[in-house]
Chains A and B, each alone.
Chain A
Amino acid sequence: MDEEGGVEMNPALKWSLLPMGGLIVIAFVLLSIMAGGPKDAIQMVRYALPYMHRGNLKVGDGAPDVRLVALDGQSRFQLREHLAGRPLVLVFGSFT
């Protein structure tokens, strides 16, 4: 019987939901301005945030070796093959 009483919303919860909802709305508006529009905000959360990482690599760590594909689409080479006794600048990016 006591548990049935629990269905009714706890007043503290009720009053904390209101400002929380307000904060979510404000956050969404700010995100929309930052991203360029409401649609951009949704797409940013869906497509950008999951891929954006800081990663664990730190200055002083060995550079991980990875296999890369050459522009011909066939041949492969290792990233560290480009280390030839000089500093190596790595530029990661895409077209769009």
Chain B
Amino acid sequence: MGDVVKLYEDYKDRADFLTIYIREAHPTDEWRMKSNEKDKDDVCYAQPKNLEQRVAIANDFAKRFKFPVPFGIDEMSNAANDAYAAWPERLYIVDENGRISYKGGNGPFKYDPKEVRAWLAQRFGEVRHLEATPSEKKG
């Protein structure tokens, strides 16, 4: 998600962004992964059974990362997830006319914010704010 935040910071003046929170990928009561305890700093939740629980996790997420990107939550019917075949994670770009202009692959292996950056760079020119990448600051 860090890559997406950078993208947002770099291009928010030129494009709109919307994060859509969908059903959990690795809840404790389904395919629990060790990395959720170790690498992800104890991000352990059960799969939400109702909207209240889903909203609560989405809020935890937004607060924890001070997530700046506009946020929407999928209904418990998973309508957004189904319409966009999104699970576990996926990126799209919709053009000004409301048409799909880019469809990313399924996460985690084919999920690639770099492709979105390339699309935006081709359209608007490369934008990279220095604050976003400390390593580049030195150079």
Write the B60-72 contact mask toward A (1 if CB under 8 angstroms, else 0): 1110000001111
CB within 8 Å for A94 and B21 given contacts A63-B100, A69-B55: yes
Contacts A59-B100, A59-B103, A90-B93 hold; do A64 and B16 have CB atoms under 8 A apart?
no
Residues of B within 8 A of A83 (CB): 16, 94, 96, 98
State the main secondary structure of chain A at its contact with B: loop
Would B80 and A68 count as touching, CB distance under 8 A?
yes
Chain B residues 66-104 with CB under 8 Å of chain A are 69-75, 79-81, 83-96, 98-103
Q: Find out whether the CB atom of A93 lies under 8 angstroms from the CB atom of B107.
A: yes
Question: Is A15 part of the binding interface, using a Cβ–Cβ cutoff of 8 Å?
Answer: no
Say how far A83's CB is from chain B's closest CB, in angstroms.
6
The listed residue (A56, A62, A71, A92) touching B22 by CB distance below 8 A is: A92
A49 CB to closest chain B CB (Å) equals 10
Task: Please give, as numbers and ranges, the residues of chain A lying within 8 Å of B98 by CB-CB distance.
Answer: 62-63, 80, 83
Q: Please measure, in the bound complex, the distance between the C-alpha atom of A68 and the C-alpha atom of B84, giving whole angstroms.
A: 13
Tell me the residues in window 11-27 of chain B with beta carbons closer than 8 Å to chain A beta carbons.
Answer: 11, 14-27
Cross-chain contact A73 with B51 (CB below 8 angstroms): yes
Which residue from chain B places its CB closest to the CB of A50 in the assembled complex? B87
Which A-chain residue is minimally distant from B32 (CB atoms)? A43
Of A59, A70, A83, A96, most buried by chain B (CB within 10 Å of CB) is A96
A59-B101, A87-B14, A87-B94 known; 12 other A-B pairs, CB under 8 Å? A44-B31, A52-B106, A60-B99, A63-B92, A68-B74, A73-B55, A79-B80, A88-B15, A91-B18, A92-B89, A92-B90, A92-B92
Residue pairs across A and B with Cβ atoms less than 8 A apart, 29 shown, are A40-B31, A51-B23, A52-B88, A57-B103, A59-B100, A66-B74, A69-B51, A69-B74, A70-B72, A71-B62, A73-B55, A82-B18, A87-B94, A87-B95, A88-B93, A89-B8, A90-B18, A91-B20, A91-B89, A91-B91, A92-B80, A92-B84, A92-B91, A93-B25, A94-B22, A94-B24, A95-B24, A95-B57, A96-B43
Residues of B within 8 A of A (CB): 1, 4, 7-8, 11, 14-27, 30-34, 36, 40, 43-45, 51-52, 54-55, 57-62, 69-75, 79-81, 83-96, 98-103, 106-107, 116, 120, 123
